[in-house]
Each structure stands twice: as C-alpha cells, then as structure tokens.
A = this chain, B = another copy of it.
Amino acid sequence: MVKVAVDAMGGDYAPAAVVAGVIEALSKSDVFVYLVGQESKVRQELKKYKFDPSRIGVVHADEIVEMHESPANAIRKKKNSSMNIGINLLKDGMADAFFSAGNTGGVVCAATLKLGLLETIERPGIAIVMPNRKGVSLIIDAGANIDPKPLHLVQYGIMGSAYFEQILGKTNPAVGLLNVGEEESKGTDFVKETYQLLEQSPVNFIGNVEGKDIFSGQCDVIVCDGFVGNVTLKVAESIAETMSFFLKQELGSSLLGRIAYLLARGCFKNFKKKIDYSEYGGAPLLGVDGVVIIGHGRSSAKAVMNAILFAKKEVERNVNQNIMEKAKKITARV
C-alpha cells in the first residue's frame, strides 16, 4: 500500500481541512497516511470521523513553519516542524510521498536539503498542468525558485519535457519560453540569456511564447521563473471563480439568462471543474529525489483528498525514475 506523509499543520485551514481530506482519501483509495503535526490537535480532529485506524499513523511534530516565515531560517531552526519530520519520513523510506499545503518555500527548502536533487538538476521546480484549447500544457516553475539562473530554466525544460512525455505519452513535446513578445530580441537580459541556452539545449525549443499562449495550446511545456509562474498560475486560478461570477451575474440579469442557467447547470459545473484548482489538489515538485506534492495555501478538504490521490499515482508511476530515464534520452540528443 502506498504510504503518504501529510503535513497536518500546512495550509490556511489546517489541521481541520487536512484531516477531513485525508479521511476522504482513505475512503476513495487504498492508501496509508501519516498525519504529521501536533498530536493532540490532530487526534481531536480525527475524533470527528470513523476510519480504519490501521491506515492512519499520527506522527507528532511540535513546531509549525508559518506562512510568513523565511523558509530557509524556519527549516533550519524548527527541526521539529511538521515539514521537517514529514520529509524525514520520506527520506527514511517510511513514506513513499510527502504532501504539504503549507509555506511553499519551506517545503522546497526542506525537500532540497533532506532528499537531495536528481542527477544534473540544480534547482527543483513546481510543475502545473493547465487546460488549453488543444489539451493541456505544463508550466514549470510555478513558484519553487523565484530568483533562478538561466541554466535552471533549461533544466526545467528538460524535466518538464520528460514529465510531459511520461504523463501524457507525447514524445518530444514543444517547449516555449514565457516572454513579453515572440521575437528573439524581446525581454530582460535574463530571458534573452535563457533563450540562447534553450536553443543550444536538447529540448524541442520553439522559441518565446506569450501569456496568451498558455491557453492557446501552442506548445506543451512552458518554462519561466517561479515569480512569473506563480503570478500566472494565480491569475489563471482565479479565472474560474471570477468568470463564473461574471457569467452568473450576466445570466441572472435576464429571465432568458436564468432559464438558460438552470437548463445548462451541468455544463456550467463541468466548465468550472475544468479549471478548478481543488480538482487537481497539488502539484509535483520536480527535481527532488522523492515524490513531493505541494498544495495551495487555501487547500480545502477536497483539494487535500485529490492531492493525496495524486501523490499515490505519482508513486505508482515511478515518476522520478521515469523522469531520469527520459531526461537522459533527451540529453543524449545533443
């Protein structure tokens, strides 16, 4: 049975939403979960539910890495934080994956320090799969590394290509560099240098892409620095909510609109589902030597549940081994 260590204290609604999500995940899939956090609080939440006690282990962790803390400091000083102890379970082979909806920088830092990085990778990146007109595209990095070097983006291109190949079965995916214009001359010195490196790299680099291309499906893998990626992701995430809001407002303003809404409620739901973050639950932190899934700070119980199911899938498809093999094949092309 796949074992997932879950940071019970991570996220804005922790531990309540985390524990609720774990219970839901147990009912949906055969997974074992370590709930890592302040034991009394976790047990108090667990009291609310009926569950098979042989499938949950509570691992006490005194401290919490708060959202406002500087990641490197917090991880170094709070040795007994739920993040550090959770990642240790993965490192020691007790767990197969780790999930946290807490301080993203903290997870990245703890995972990098304790698990180490895959061969040839210098920085991990958060990979997000987004729907587009033709299918999906993968954005990397969505916030693990907000101040990267151009070479890190090339590594994201390789990892992203390997991951895209693996999960979507498309070989030689097209890689684009997120920029303010399509022309090679566009952008900051940072993106210009990245452009040159990507051109010399073994990935199937198609050049610069713009913000609009994320949804057009013009390429499969989009690389960017974690600052831009994070802002982009959050803009896109809020789309579903705000568009639904505008549409409801518009439809609600006329009788025909209200009838239409009632008739097509299922369609609107599917539409919303397509771009609802909590349907995915979490994003993989690619590049660290272990399956680490990062959740949204605002993770609901549903998001936590989906993240745990996703973590299990990642373990079962042997994600890192596959990335390594595919990345080697890609690199051998040069």
Which residue numbers of A lie inside 8 Å of B, CB to CB?
67-70, 131-133, 143, 146-147, 178, 180-181, 183-185, 187-189, 191, 210-216, 224, 226-228, 230-239, 241-243, 245-247, 250-251, 253-254, 256-257, 259-261, 263-264, 266-268, 270-271, 274-275, 297
Counted per complex, copies of this chain come to 2
A247 touches B235 (CB 8 A): no
A253 lies within 8 A of B235 (CB)? no
**Would B133 and A245 count as touching, CB distance under 8 A?**
yes
Judging by beta carbons under 8 Å apart, are B231 and A69 in contact? Answer: no
Contact present for B143 and A227 (CB under 8 Å): no
**Minimum Cβ distance to chain B for residue A209 (Å):** 10
Look across to chain B and name the residue whose beta carbon is closest to the beta carbon of A226: B180
Contact A267 B242, beta carbon cutoff 8 Å: no
Least distance between A249 CB and chain B CB atoms (Å): 9
- CB pair A260–B250 under 8 Å, yes or no, is no
> What 14 new A-B contacts, CB under 8 Å, besides A180-B226, A216-B238?
A132-B242, A191-B227, A211-B230, A211-B238, A215-B238, A216-B242, A247-B247, A250-B271, A254-B264, A254-B266, A256-B263, A257-B263, A260-B260, A261-B264
Identify whether the interface residues of A are mostly helix, strand, loop, or mixed.
Answer: helix
Q: Which 7 residue pairs across A and B have the least CB separation, nearest first?
A: A211-B234, A260-B264, A260-B260, A212-B238, A68-B183, A211-B235, A215-B242
Question: Which residues of chain B are near A256, meaning CB under 8 Å?
Answer: 263-264, 266-267
Residues of chain B lying within 8 A (CB to CB) of residue A239: 215, 239, 243
Q: Nearest-CB distance from A76 to chain B (Å)?
A: 15
Q: Which residues from B are CB-within-8-Å of A267? A: 247, 250-251, 253-254, 256-257, 260
Measured CB to CB, the nearest residue on chain B to A254 is B267
Q: What are 9 A-B contacts with C-beta separation under 8 Å?
A: A132-B242, A133-B245, A147-B188, A211-B231, A212-B235, A243-B243, A246-B275, A247-B271, A256-B264
